[in-house]
Amino acid sequence: MTRECKSDFDSFLSYIASYKISENLEQTSYVETAKSMHKAYFSLLHFHCELNFQSELFRGEYSDDENILSRISEVVSDIGSSNFNWINGSYKASRVMLRSSIENFVRGLSSIEDETQLTEKSVYSLFDNAKESNIFNSNETVRLCFNSIHSSYKELCKDTHTASIANMENISSLVDYPKYFEDKSRDTGAIFVSVVKDILIMLCLIFNKVFHKMHHKNQQNILISIPRNTKPLILAP
Protein backbone atom coordinates (compact mmCIF):
# COMPACT_ATOMS: atom_id res chain seq x y z
CA MET A 1 0.00 0.00 0.00
CA THR A 2 1.44 3.37 -1.02
CA ARG A 3 1.47 6.35 1.30
CA GLU A 4 -1.18 8.01 -0.85
CA CYS A 5 -3.37 4.92 -0.78
CA LYS A 6 -3.08 4.63 3.01
CA SER A 7 -3.91 8.30 3.42
CA ASP A 8 -6.94 7.95 1.18
CA PHE A 9 -8.07 4.86 3.11
CA ASP A 10 -7.90 6.84 6.34
CA SER A 11 -10.06 9.48 4.68
CA PHE A 12 -12.42 6.73 3.58
CA LEU A 13 -12.80 5.52 7.17
CA SER A 14 -13.48 9.07 8.30
CA TYR A 15 -16.10 9.37 5.56
CA ILE A 16 -17.83 6.21 6.81
CA ALA A 17 -17.69 7.37 10.42
CA SER A 18 -19.25 10.73 9.63
CA TYR A 19 -21.74 9.50 7.00
CA LYS A 20 -25.26 10.77 7.60
CA ILE A 21 -28.37 11.54 5.57
CA SER A 22 -30.30 13.61 8.08
CA GLU A 23 -29.94 16.75 5.95
CA ASN A 24 -32.24 15.16 3.38
CA LEU A 25 -35.01 15.25 5.97
CA GLU A 26 -35.01 19.03 5.64
CA GLN A 27 -36.43 18.60 2.12
CA THR A 28 -40.24 18.38 2.16
CA SER A 29 -40.35 16.47 -1.12
CA TYR A 30 -37.87 13.89 0.21
CA VAL A 31 -40.00 13.25 3.30
CA GLU A 32 -43.23 13.04 1.30
CA THR A 33 -41.74 10.53 -1.13
CA ALA A 34 -40.20 8.55 1.72
CA LYS A 35 -43.61 8.40 3.41
CA SER A 36 -45.37 6.97 0.35
CA MET A 37 -42.59 4.43 -0.23
CA HIS A 38 -42.58 3.37 3.40
CA LYS A 39 -46.33 2.83 3.43
CA ALA A 40 -46.26 0.47 0.44
CA TYR A 41 -43.18 -1.37 1.73
CA PHE A 42 -44.71 -1.62 5.22
CA SER A 43 -47.78 -3.35 3.79
CA LEU A 44 -45.71 -5.73 1.68
CA LEU A 45 -43.63 -6.73 4.71
CA HIS A 46 -46.79 -7.65 6.60
CA PHE A 47 -47.96 -9.89 3.77
CA HIS A 48 -44.54 -11.52 3.53
CA CYS A 49 -44.40 -12.23 7.26
CA GLU A 50 -47.86 -13.80 7.16
CA LEU A 51 -46.95 -15.83 4.08
CA ASN A 52 -43.98 -17.33 5.90
CA PHE A 53 -46.06 -17.93 9.01
CA GLN A 54 -48.69 -19.71 6.90
CA SER A 55 -46.18 -21.72 4.87
CA GLU A 56 -48.03 -24.99 5.55
CA LEU A 57 -51.24 -23.52 4.14
CA PHE A 58 -49.30 -22.23 1.14
CA ARG A 59 -47.78 -25.64 0.46
CA GLY A 60 -51.15 -27.32 0.76
CA GLU A 61 -53.17 -24.88 -1.32
CA TYR A 62 -50.73 -23.51 -3.88
CA SER A 63 -47.36 -25.24 -4.19
CA ASP A 64 -45.02 -27.42 -2.15
CA ASP A 65 -41.98 -26.20 -4.10
CA GLU A 66 -39.76 -24.38 -1.58
CA ASN A 67 -38.14 -22.46 -4.45
CA ILE A 68 -41.31 -20.43 -4.89
CA LEU A 69 -41.44 -19.12 -1.32
CA SER A 70 -37.70 -18.44 -1.53
CA ARG A 71 -38.23 -16.49 -4.73
CA ILE A 72 -41.02 -14.42 -3.15
CA SER A 73 -38.71 -13.70 -0.21
CA GLU A 74 -36.09 -12.50 -2.67
CA VAL A 75 -38.67 -10.17 -4.19
CA VAL A 76 -39.12 -8.54 -0.79
CA SER A 77 -35.35 -8.46 -0.32
CA ASP A 78 -34.83 -6.71 -3.66
CA ILE A 79 -37.50 -4.16 -2.81
CA GLY A 80 -35.85 -3.48 0.54
CA SER A 81 -32.52 -2.93 -1.22
CA SER A 82 -34.23 -0.62 -3.69
CA ASN A 83 -35.65 1.40 -0.82
CA PHE A 84 -32.27 1.62 0.93
CA ASN A 85 -30.53 2.83 -2.21
CA TRP A 86 -33.20 5.48 -2.73
CA ILE A 87 -32.69 6.75 0.83
CA ASN A 88 -29.05 7.47 0.04
CA GLY A 89 -29.71 9.01 -3.36
CA SER A 90 -28.42 6.04 -5.35
CA TYR A 91 -31.33 6.23 -7.76
CA LYS A 92 -29.97 4.05 -10.55
CA ALA A 93 -29.12 1.24 -8.14
CA SER A 94 -32.57 1.63 -6.59
CA ARG A 95 -34.24 1.21 -9.97
CA VAL A 96 -32.04 -1.73 -10.95
CA MET A 97 -32.99 -3.56 -7.75
CA LEU A 98 -36.65 -2.77 -8.37
CA ARG A 99 -36.29 -4.31 -11.82
CA SER A 100 -34.81 -7.42 -10.22
CA SER A 101 -37.78 -7.67 -7.86
CA ILE A 102 -40.20 -7.71 -10.79
CA GLU A 103 -38.28 -10.45 -12.56
CA ASN A 104 -38.13 -12.56 -9.40
CA PHE A 105 -41.84 -12.04 -8.80
CA VAL A 106 -42.83 -13.09 -12.31
CA ARG A 107 -40.44 -16.04 -12.24
CA GLY A 108 -41.62 -17.23 -8.84
CA LEU A 109 -45.37 -17.01 -9.32
CA SER A 110 -45.50 -18.28 -12.89
CA SER A 111 -43.46 -21.34 -11.84
CA ILE A 112 -46.40 -22.49 -9.72
CA GLU A 113 -48.01 -23.42 -13.02
CA ASP A 114 -44.86 -24.12 -15.04
CA GLU A 115 -41.75 -25.08 -13.08
CA THR A 116 -39.51 -24.48 -16.10
CA GLN A 117 -40.05 -20.75 -15.51
CA LEU A 118 -37.63 -21.00 -12.56
CA THR A 119 -34.78 -21.76 -14.94
CA GLU A 120 -35.93 -19.86 -18.05
CA LYS A 121 -32.89 -17.90 -19.26
CA SER A 122 -34.66 -15.67 -21.77
CA VAL A 123 -36.38 -12.76 -20.05
CA TYR A 124 -38.55 -12.25 -23.12
CA SER A 125 -39.76 -15.85 -22.93
CA LEU A 126 -40.20 -15.54 -19.17
CA PHE A 127 -42.64 -12.65 -19.53
CA ASP A 128 -44.34 -14.07 -22.63
CA ASN A 129 -45.00 -17.37 -20.88
CA ALA A 130 -46.17 -15.64 -17.72
CA LYS A 131 -48.51 -13.40 -19.67
CA GLU A 132 -50.31 -16.46 -21.02
CA SER A 133 -50.40 -18.33 -17.72
CA ASN A 134 -53.61 -18.95 -15.83
CA ILE A 135 -52.20 -17.48 -12.64
CA PHE A 136 -51.69 -14.03 -14.16
CA ASN A 137 -55.06 -14.22 -15.89
CA SER A 138 -57.02 -15.43 -12.87
CA ASN A 139 -59.04 -12.20 -12.93
CA GLU A 140 -59.00 -8.85 -14.68
CA THR A 141 -57.31 -6.99 -11.83
CA VAL A 142 -54.43 -9.46 -11.70
CA ARG A 143 -54.04 -9.23 -15.46
CA LEU A 144 -53.94 -5.43 -15.35
CA CYS A 145 -51.40 -5.44 -12.51
CA PHE A 146 -49.21 -7.88 -14.42
CA ASN A 147 -49.30 -5.64 -17.49
CA SER A 148 -48.46 -2.69 -15.27
CA ILE A 149 -45.35 -4.28 -13.75
CA HIS A 150 -44.33 -5.47 -17.21
CA SER A 151 -44.45 -1.87 -18.43
CA SER A 152 -42.50 -0.77 -15.36
CA TYR A 153 -39.94 -3.49 -16.04
CA LYS A 154 -39.38 -2.20 -19.56
CA GLU A 155 -38.90 1.32 -18.21
CA LEU A 156 -36.45 0.12 -15.56
CA CYS A 157 -34.44 -1.79 -18.18
CA LYS A 158 -33.35 1.60 -19.52
CA ASP A 159 -31.41 2.12 -16.30
CA THR A 160 -29.85 -1.33 -16.41
CA HIS A 161 -28.65 -0.78 -19.97
CA THR A 162 -27.99 2.97 -19.54
CA ALA A 163 -30.22 3.74 -22.50
CA SER A 164 -29.63 7.50 -22.41
CA ILE A 165 -27.90 10.28 -20.50
CA ALA A 166 -30.97 10.46 -18.28
CA ASN A 167 -30.22 6.91 -17.13
CA MET A 168 -26.67 7.76 -16.04
CA GLU A 169 -25.78 8.30 -12.38
CA ASN A 170 -22.56 10.29 -12.94
CA ILE A 171 -20.94 9.53 -9.59
CA SER A 172 -17.29 10.58 -9.57
CA SER A 173 -16.50 9.10 -6.12
CA LEU A 174 -18.19 7.98 -2.91
CA VAL A 175 -17.95 11.49 -1.54
CA ASP A 176 -20.89 12.31 -3.83
CA TYR A 177 -23.11 10.31 -1.46
CA PRO A 178 -25.47 10.87 0.19
CA LYS A 179 -27.17 13.06 -2.36
CA TYR A 180 -30.64 14.30 -3.21
CA PHE A 181 -32.01 15.29 -6.60
CA GLU A 182 -35.69 16.09 -6.30
CA ASP A 183 -36.77 15.00 -9.79
CA LYS A 184 -34.91 11.68 -9.69
CA SER A 185 -36.01 11.09 -6.12
CA ARG A 186 -39.66 11.71 -6.95
CA ASP A 187 -39.61 9.67 -10.18
CA THR A 188 -37.89 6.71 -8.56
CA GLY A 189 -40.24 6.88 -5.59
CA ALA A 190 -43.27 6.91 -7.88
CA ILE A 191 -42.29 3.80 -9.83
CA PHE A 192 -41.31 2.09 -6.56
CA VAL A 193 -44.77 2.67 -5.08
CA SER A 194 -46.49 1.61 -8.30
CA VAL A 195 -44.56 -1.66 -8.54
CA VAL A 196 -44.91 -2.55 -4.86
CA LYS A 197 -48.65 -1.89 -4.88
CA ASP A 198 -49.14 -3.96 -8.04
CA ILE A 199 -47.19 -6.84 -6.50
CA LEU A 200 -49.12 -6.54 -3.25
CA ILE A 201 -52.49 -6.58 -5.02
CA MET A 202 -51.54 -9.68 -6.98
CA LEU A 203 -50.28 -11.46 -3.86
CA CYS A 204 -53.54 -10.68 -2.05
CA LEU A 205 -55.72 -11.91 -4.91
CA ILE A 206 -53.71 -14.93 -6.04
CA PHE A 207 -53.07 -16.12 -2.48
CA ASN A 208 -56.41 -14.94 -1.17
CA LYS A 209 -56.79 -17.85 1.25
CA VAL A 210 -53.59 -16.74 2.95
CA PHE A 211 -54.98 -13.22 3.30
CA HIS A 212 -58.20 -14.43 4.91
CA LYS A 213 -56.27 -16.47 7.48
CA MET A 214 -54.25 -13.46 8.64
CA HIS A 215 -54.61 -11.65 11.93
CA HIS A 216 -57.03 -8.76 11.39
CA LYS A 217 -54.41 -6.15 12.30
CA ASN A 218 -52.09 -7.49 9.63
CA GLN A 219 -54.96 -7.40 7.14
CA GLN A 220 -55.55 -3.75 8.01
CA ASN A 221 -51.87 -2.91 7.61
CA ILE A 222 -51.97 -4.45 4.15
CA LEU A 223 -55.23 -2.85 3.06
CA ILE A 224 -53.96 0.69 3.74
CA SER A 225 -51.93 0.34 0.52
CA ILE A 226 -54.72 -1.18 -1.58
CA PRO A 227 -56.87 1.06 -3.84
CA ARG A 228 -60.44 1.43 -2.61
CA ASN A 229 -61.98 -0.19 -5.68
CA THR A 230 -59.77 -3.27 -5.27
CA LYS A 231 -60.43 -3.91 -1.58
CA PRO A 232 -63.82 -5.65 -2.13
CA LEU A 233 -62.14 -8.18 -4.44
CA ILE A 234 -59.62 -9.06 -1.74
CA LEU A 235 -62.13 -9.06 1.13
CA ALA A 236 -64.68 -11.23 -0.67
CA PRO A 237 -64.78 -14.73 0.90
Residue range 163-177: mean pLDDT, rounded: 60
**Does residue 201 carry a pLDDT above 80?**
yes
Give residue 208's pLDDT: 98
**Does residue 166 carry a pLDDT above 70?**
no
pLDDT band at 191 (very low <50, low <70, confident <90, very high): very high
pLDDT band at 163 (very low <50, low <70, confident <90, very high): very low
Q: Where do the H-state alpha helices sit in the chain?
A: 3-18, 28-53, 55-61, 66-87, 91-110, 123-132, 140-160, 182-206, 208-212, 216-223, 231-235
**Dist. CA 102–CA 149, nearest whole Å:** 7
**Does residue 165 carry a pLDDT above 60?**
no
Kindly state the percentage of the chain with pLDDT values over 90.
85
Residue range 220-232: mean pLDDT, rounded: 98
**Does residue 159 carry a pLDDT above 90?**
no
**Dist. CA 96–CA 156, nearest whole Å:** 7
Kindly state the percentage of the chain with pLDDT values over 70.
93
Q: For the chain, what is the radius of gyration of the CA atoms?
A: 20
